[in-house]
């Protein structure tokens, strides 16, 4: 890669300097219009935040790049995007390996269901993990040596469906306490996905109530990771601070067309 990118920051420090554009060779096959969609989403987000009486700096947009190429992530990085999400260790590793210093400087969020045997490896690579839903994951992460603390979201199940991940609400407090005791994890708040086929507003209202509950124990854990391409507006109305946006920005992967 011939383009020069800003230096890799220390974990917890935001990337510095102006983004550089990837070379034409790296753009081959990249989804056309992805930067336009990024800008359009930002405009929609500003409008929704205004309706909610909230500020842009309150919200982090995580662009979900699963099933997409590292080149697409590079294009978004060059356009100013800094937060990206992957749902598998393989996908996360592939982006970091292929993307060079540009994508190493990005903030990578692990958003998929986390396997215990891979938890330590994910913790070494990720800026944040949004899917801590059982104590076994924390135990495994605490066994590895890390040179940084990893931001952690406790994933809560709002519908009780085990195949979608998330700790049951009645077990949430114990898991929160375990994360708070971890030397490697820094509790940021809660994460959830809305129940399938249901109105997202009541679900995210419940998540907001649960967030208020854990802040009585951990006042600094005031983040809410909620909202995807189809329901992010509802998430914003109920205090979401981290939106996980895929196709609304990235478009569909080539293999899905």
DSSP per residue over 231-251, as a string?
Answer: THHHHHHTT-SEEEE-HHHH-
Q: For the chain, what are the domain ranges? A: 113-252
Confidence of residue 254 (pLDDT cuts 50, 70, 90): low
More confident residue, 58 or 99: 58
HSE-up of residue 136 (Cα within 13 Å, Cβ side): 6
Of 16-30, 96-110, 233-247, the least confident: 16-30
Helices 70-78 and 89-104: crossing angle in degrees, nearest 10, is: 40
Evaluate whether 23 touches 204 at the Cβ level (below 8 Å). no
pLDDT value at residue 120: 97
- Is the domain 113-252 a CATH 3.40.190.10 member? no
User: Is pTM, for the whole model, over 0.85?
Assistant: yes
- Tokens 């995807």 belong to residue: 228
Nearest to 240 by CA among 198, 199, 176, 193: 193
pLDDT value at residue 32: 64
Region of 160 please: left (phi>0), alpha (psi -120 to 50) or beta.
Answer: left
- Render pLDDT for 180-229 as a digit per residue (tens, 0 to 9): 999 999 999 999 999 998 899 999 999 999 999 999 999 999 999 999 99
Residue 232: Cβ within 10 Å count = 24
The C-alpha atoms of residue 42 and residue 245 are separated, in whole angstroms, by 11
């Amino acid at each position: 890669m011939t383009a020069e990118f800003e230096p890799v920051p220390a974990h917890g420090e935001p990337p510095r300097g102006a983004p550089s554009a990837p070379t034409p060779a790296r753009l081959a096959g990249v989804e056309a219009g992805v930067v336009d969609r990024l800008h359009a989403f930002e405009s929609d987000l500003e409008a929704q935040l205004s309706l909610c009486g909230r500020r842009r700096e309150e919200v982090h947009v995580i662009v979900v790049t699963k099933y997409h190429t590292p080149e697409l992530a590079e294009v978004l990085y060059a356009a100013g995007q800094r937060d990206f999400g992957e749902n598998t260790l393989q996908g996360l590793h592939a982006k970091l390996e292929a993307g060079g210093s540009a994508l190493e400087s990005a903030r990578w969020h692990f958003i998929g269901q986390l396997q215990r045997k891979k938890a330590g490896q994910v913790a070494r690579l990720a800026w944040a993990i949004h899917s801590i839903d059982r104590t076994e994951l924390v135990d495994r992460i605490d066994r590895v040596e890390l040179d940084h603390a990893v931001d952690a979201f406790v994933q809560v199940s709002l519908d009780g469906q085990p195949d979608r991940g998330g700790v049951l609400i009645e077990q949430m407090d114990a898991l929160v306490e375990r994360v708070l005791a971890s030397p490697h994890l820094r509790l940021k708040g809660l994460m959830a996905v809305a129940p399938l086929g249901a109105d997202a507003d009541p679900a995210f209202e419940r998540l907001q109530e649960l967030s208020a509950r854990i802040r009585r124990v951990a006042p600094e854990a005031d983040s809410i990771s909620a909202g995807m391409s189809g329901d992010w507006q509802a998430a914003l109305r109920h205090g979401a601070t981290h939106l996980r946006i895929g196709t609304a920005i990235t478009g569909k992967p080539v293999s899905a067309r």
